[in-house]
Amino acid sequence: MGREVGVALIGQRFMGRAHANAYAKVVPFFDPPVRPILRVACGRNEGRLAEFARRFGFSEYTTDWGKAVAREDVDLVDICTSNDLHAAIAIRAAEAGKAVFCEKPLARDLAEAKRMLAAVERAGVPHMVCFNYRFFPAVRLARELIREGALGEVRQFRAIYLQDWLVDPAFPRTWRLVRARAGSGALGDTAVHIVDLARFLVGEVAEVVGMLSTFVRERPLPDGPGTGPVDVDDAAAFLARFENGATGVFETTRMATGRKNFMHLEVNGSVGSLFWNAEDPNVLWFHSEKDPAAARGFRRIVVTEPEHPYAGNWWPPGHILGYEHSFVHAVYELLSALAEGRNPEPDFRDGIAAQAVLEAVLVSAAERRWVAVAEVLGG
Ligand code: SOE
């Protein structure tokens, strides 16, 4: 790969904007070893796409993703579409020899995710899944503390991820509410993030037992009169046991009135604990039993010092970062890996590992029993 990476970005909505913004910011703030050149933006609504391409600086745009992927001047295909297009685009991109960067969840289900991994491995192209929450400085610091033993033996992980954008029963039945397009509901959309973070912070999940709920079973169709059925979960809750013996408690919903993007992670170990909330993303709370007894308690670490992951590339200490920065950091890691000829992290294998946990929860909920992740992963 030369000094430049030609990018085709497929999808122009929320994630398309988050990724396009990341390409724009990564160069001035991180000076990556290879530079993204925004060759082509792709989306379905041509009017909106022209405006998107103009604002974010893409030289061209097209409504045909096949054309975008096939271009000679494209080295990296960035997939920000609905879940039902991930596999088709990723496999075509791999066959064309392009690196693939794909939004989460990697696929609608495990079988599809496995096909995607097979395609990128067969083609020998780099691949990455955008689990952006891994790239918040405070989450990175949490991992460092756990790895260096500041918590002792990790015993308990708990995570809740709550949103409320589906509370109104008049909210339309968009693709996220249709199993054939999304794969699952809150499980694949939001639980997948906390599953990935559980793996990132604690380790592999061995088994789960879970339940799924759908509270609003019929919603107005987005493009016409009438309503249609909702066949995905509005909420999911599950218990887990990690391979290292730690326990996990997970809950997610897109119907928690008043909660916007409330992701709370907590880890308890034999000599310490930490917790983090995505709505206060610069702060990591850390407690150590090793502190003098009278001074013991959770300390509030503002993760904006030059010593902290990624923080030094931005502003002076205390000048906070937010949601968008996690994508800039992810893109920086992606470009660094491409320049060094190695696979970035998290990759499609991580996507599959998270997908397998989701699949185990689906089986568990359907069959009302504990399910080992190895059982759904198969051979
Ligand atoms: C919707 O629930 C959503 O946009 C998710 O799809 C994202 O992955 C999450 O970061 C924010 O919420």
Query: Tens digit of pLDDT for each residue in 83-139?
Result: 999 999 999 999 999 999 999 999 999 999 999 999 999 999 999 999 999 999 999
pLDDT tier at 215 (50, 70, 90 boundaries)?
very high
Closest C-alpha among 205, 215, 206 to residue 185: 215
pLDDT attached to residue 379: 60
Among protein residues, the one whose CA lies closest to atom 6 of ligand 1: 189
CA of 85 relative to ligand 1 center, distance in Å: 17
Q: Taking a C-beta distance cutoff of 8 angstroms, is the pair 78, 101 a contact?
A: yes
pLDDT attached to residue 361: 98
Closest C-alpha among 372, 364, 367, 358 to residue 182: 358
Report pLDDT digits (tens) over 283-294. 999 999 999 999
Three-class secondary structure of residue 252 per DSSP: strand
Euclidean distance between CA atoms 105 and 242, whole angstroms: 21
CA of 293 relative to ligand 1 center, distance in Å: 41
Residues 6+ apart with CB under 8 A from 140: 134, 308, 309, 310
Best residue for ligand 1 mutational test, from 102, 135, 163, 194 (most atoms within 8 Å of Cβ): 163
CA of 15 relative to ligand 1 center, distance in Å: 9
Report pLDDT digits (tens) over 344-357. 999 999 999 999 99
pLDDT higher than threshold 90 for residue 1 = no
Residues 6+ apart with CB under 8 A from 240: 157, 198, 205, 206, 207, 208, 247, 248, 249, 250, 357
Among protein residues, the one whose CA lies closest to atom 1 of ligand 1: 189
14 in contact with ligand 1, CB cutoff 6 A: yes
Buried b (16+ CB within 10 A) or exposed e, 327-339: bbbbbbbbbebbb
Euclidean distance between CA atoms 79 and 60, whole angstroms: 17
Mean pLDDT, rounded, of the chain = 98
Strand 99-103 and strand 127-130: pairing? parallel
The stretch 225-232 carries a mean pLDDT of 97
pLDDT attached to residue 56: 98
350 in contact with ligand 1, CB cutoff 6 A: no
Euclidean distance between CA atoms 320 and 376, whole angstroms: 41
The stretch 217-233 carries a mean pLDDT of 97
Residue 14 CA: nearest ligand 1 atom is 4
Cis peptide before 105 (omega within 30 of 0): yes
**CATH numbers and ranges of domains, the chain:** 4-133 (3.40.50.720), 134-344+355-364 (3.30.360.10)
Residue 192 CA: nearest ligand 1 atom is 8
Report pLDDT digits (tens) over 240-275. 999 999 999 999 999 999 999 999 999 999 999 999
252 in contact with ligand 1, CB cutoff 6 A: no
